[in-house]
Structure formats: structure tokens, C-alpha cells
Chain A
């Protein structure tokens, strides 16, 4: 790449973006970019389904994939504050709601896949499954808790609820812990993957706790 193109594009725009507060135009572009990136897991599922490539157990594949991406979005949402605490930058917080809603989006797809594809809305069987299997109960509880957060995600709701909005949205920590436990409990024997997410979540929470304690001391 000729040096002058590099200077005019990547260096100025992207390095500038990382180092200081982005301009409004760039922030919007970034928002659209994140939005499109977050849609890729869904488009991939459609692509694989269209090509009959959802593995030998397609129902489980869809359940696993949507569940994984819900957890991914949740951990992404929870990582924005620690970035502020560690770097002092706060512009990334403007994308927190979008990531949170994508978590709700993939969690909803996960639940729909379970209710529809897996259990064909056979409610007696579904109730039995939730009651008898702890990991399903934990997952169902986590999803129930995401619903009020999604409903109160608008600016109007934030204005309406004020302090109580803050309190309500602390539920996200409970949801995250339940989500990771849900994954840990469903795995038969090889805990490596869910443990990775448990460790990431623990780190994200530890950073918050550390700064809270050190602030109190100061």
C-alpha cells in the first residue's frame, strides 16, 4: 500500500479513533459496523441451514450456537466498564445498550430453538424438563431476568425509573453468573470451554470490585 493512502486512511482515522474520543461521524460508522458484526452469527446459521450443514444434530447445533453467542454478547457488554476503569476512556459505553440487546436477541433465539425445534411446544414435557434438570432451570431463570432489562432499555424508561433503573439493571450480574453456571452444568465431563467463560466473567467482575474498593479507600 502506498504510504500516502495509509496516512490518509488507517493512520488518521483508525489510530485516531483508538487514541482519542471519536468524532460523531466515526462513532456512527462504528455503531453500524458493530451492528453488522453482531448479525453474522445469525446469518451464518441461515447459511449453514440452507446448505444442510448444521451437523448431524442440527437442533442441538442451533441451541448451542445461539446460547454461545448470547453468552458472548453478555460478556462483551460487561467488558465495556472495565475498559473504562482500566484506560480512563468512556466513549465505548455508548455501545453498551446495543450489545446488551443483542444478548437478549440471541438468548431469545436460544429459547425459541429450545421450545420450538427441540420440544415442539410440548408444554408438559418442557415443564418436566425445567423442573427435573437443574441446568435448564438455571438457564430459564437467567432468561426470565433478561426480559425486564430488555423492556426498560429505552431512554424514556431510563428517565422514568432514574435510580431504580440503575438498581434494576444490576440484575445483569446475576444473569451472567446464572448463564455461566447453566453452561458449566450442562457439560458432561470436559469443562474446559465453560471454565474459560467463568474465568473471563470472574476477571470482569474482579476489576469492578477492585476499583470500587480502592475508590472507597481514597
Chain B
């Protein structure tokens, strides 16, 4: 039996004013997002939103405004993974460990204002705003394959600039042998950070020559627009010949060091995740097959494709690892 009693509490008394206002703002952003999405559809034929996404996944459009970018030669002939898949299938534990969680839980995340601090083995410590970072170098589109250690892959049209440009501005000294990237760990905005699943903040690292390689970029956008929050807004690392977890998201700190930095996943599973984490079909992982991969967006019956050495970028990066035992340095 349902017995209804009339509530004597007005809803606005329950919801704190600032949350109420936040929701309004979010709704406005979402409305603007629909408009932006529509213009995106007109200008780019590969913008494949099928329109059957549940409303919770429709991300509020990013607040960052990107300057113009140029096309580049990378990734010609690759079939792009749909925007919808790139933005709803994410490993971003700060917003939850489920693949669909980051798209939902990052909606109210604020990627602006944003500053990145530069420290460690540098001429002098300094900070730079995201707007000034965008002025450091011209932006270009880089279509890269992304191979996750879990055995799936995507093809993503990133927008970004070579990390080397930012490093040049940072002015590392002669002792700088490695670069460490530290992500934001904000317990207020990122619900996953409240769980001790990883050792926060998320930390990644590269050897100096890897960081300076022309393939390594800082991405600030994808599919022609600023980076959605769930993909690491406002700025993330993209190292296409390494497993996806190397790509630190929402970077707030870049530290130059003389010793190899300890990364988050090395701490979480030293036998499973190494510092180099180069895509390598010959080095087995205790959990996942690394000799083949599932391409996201290819459908239920597409099966697997062969994984390539260095994710197919061996020509550009292979020489950096000449003489190294890649089984030991996995």
C-alpha cells in the first residue's frame, strides 16, 4: 500500500545554493555544447556521433578556446575512432575506475583557469598559464594510434604541439636526464582521488630523449576542439609508441630530474608496469595478450588486429632503444 504524505520541505531548502547554481551553469554549458556539436557535424565528416548516447554522457563543452591549428602528415589513411567512443571509454581513475565513469564524473571539472609549474633541474622554477602555453608553439593535428596495455586501441586526431617546445621554454639544466609529469589530484573535483586505489597524484615520466622526440606531444584538443575533461583537459601527454597509461592527464607540474622518476603504475604493479612501457608484441604481460589488440569502434565481429612493434612507430623511435634489453626494460 502506498500512503502518500505531503512534504512540508521546499526542495530549494534541501539543495545548497551553490550546487543549485552549479547545476544551472552545467545545463547552460550542455545547451551550448549541442550547438557546438552541430557545427562540428557540418565542418567535419568524421565527427561520428550517432545520437543514441544517454544524456549523462553528453559532455559539457570545454571552456578553453583553441587558436587555429594546421594539419600534419601523421596518421594519413588511418580510420578515426568515433568521437563518441574516444569520449566515453576512458581510463582516468581520478574520475572512477569504470570506463564510462570519467565522462559522467568529470562534467563539472574546471580546466580553466589553469597553471603548470616547472621545477627541479631547471635554470629557475616558474609557472605558466594554459593560455600562455598555447602561445608557445603553433598547434597542429596529429592523428596517432593509441594502444592501451589492456589490449585495446584507438586512432585519435589529437591537437597539440611538440613537448620539445615546452621543454625549450622551461630551460632545463645539464643535470636534467628525465622529465616527471604530475597530474592534478583534487579531492573536491575528482571523486576517484578519495579512494586509495592508486598512489595519488598520478605521476608519469620520460627519459629526456623520449620527451624531446618529435612524436611526443602535449595534447590540448581532439577532433578539432579543446580537450574534453574526460580525456585530460586542459593538457595531457601523448606518447604514441608507449602504452596509453604513460599519457598523464590534467598536468599541473613538470619536474626535471637527474634520476629515473618512480611512476604511479610502477608502484602499483612493479612486475606488470615498467618505466619504459613501450608497445611491444614480444613482451608478454601477466594479464593481457600483447601480440594483438581490439580496435575500438570496429564492432562486435571485427576480431583482433596484430600489435606492431613500438605501436608502428619503430622507424621514428627505435634508435633510442638500440642495445637495450627490452624484456628487462619493459
Contacts and interface: CB of A to CB of B under 8 A. Distances in A.
Contacts of B269: 189
A52 B50 contact: yes
A188 B243 CA distance: 15
Contact of A52 (B52, B88, B152): B52
A135 B89 CA distance: 23
Contacts of B99: 55-57
A60 B297 CA distance: 12
Contacts of A129: 289
Contacts of B297: 56
B150 interface: yes
A189 B197 contact: yes
Interface stretch (B70-78, B159-167, B280-288, B309-317): B280-288
Contacts of B268: 189
A54 B300 contact: yes
B284 A117 contact: no
A119 interface: yes
Contacts of B291: 125, 128
B197 A186 contact: no
A122 B292 CA distance: 11
Contacts of B100: 55
Interface in A99-139: 117-120, 122, 125, 128-129, 132-135
A154 B33 CA distance: 59
Given A59-B294, A133-B288, A189-B197, A118 B152 contact: no
A53 interface: yes
Given A56-B88, A133-B286, A189-B268, A62 B52 contact: no
Contacts of B88: 55-56
Contacts of A132: 284, 289
Contacts of B289: 125, 128-129, 132-133
Given A52-B50, A118-B304, A190 B97 contact: yes
B58 to A, nearest CB: 15
B85 interface: yes
B315 to A, nearest CB: 26
B198 A189 contact: yes
Nearest to A190: B97
A58 interface: yes
A125 B292 contact: yes
A117 B304 CA distance: 9
A8 interface: no
Interface of A: 1, 6, 49, 51-60, 62, 117-120, 122, 125, 128-129, 132-135, 185-186, 188-190
Q: Which 6 pairs, one residue from A and one from B, show the smallest C-beta to C-beta distance?
A: A56-B89, A56-B85, A190-B97, A120-B303, A58-B300, A56-B296
Interface of B: 1, 50, 52, 84-85, 88-89, 93, 97, 99-100, 150, 152, 195, 197-198, 268-269, 284, 286-289, 291-292, 294, 296-297, 299-301, 303-304
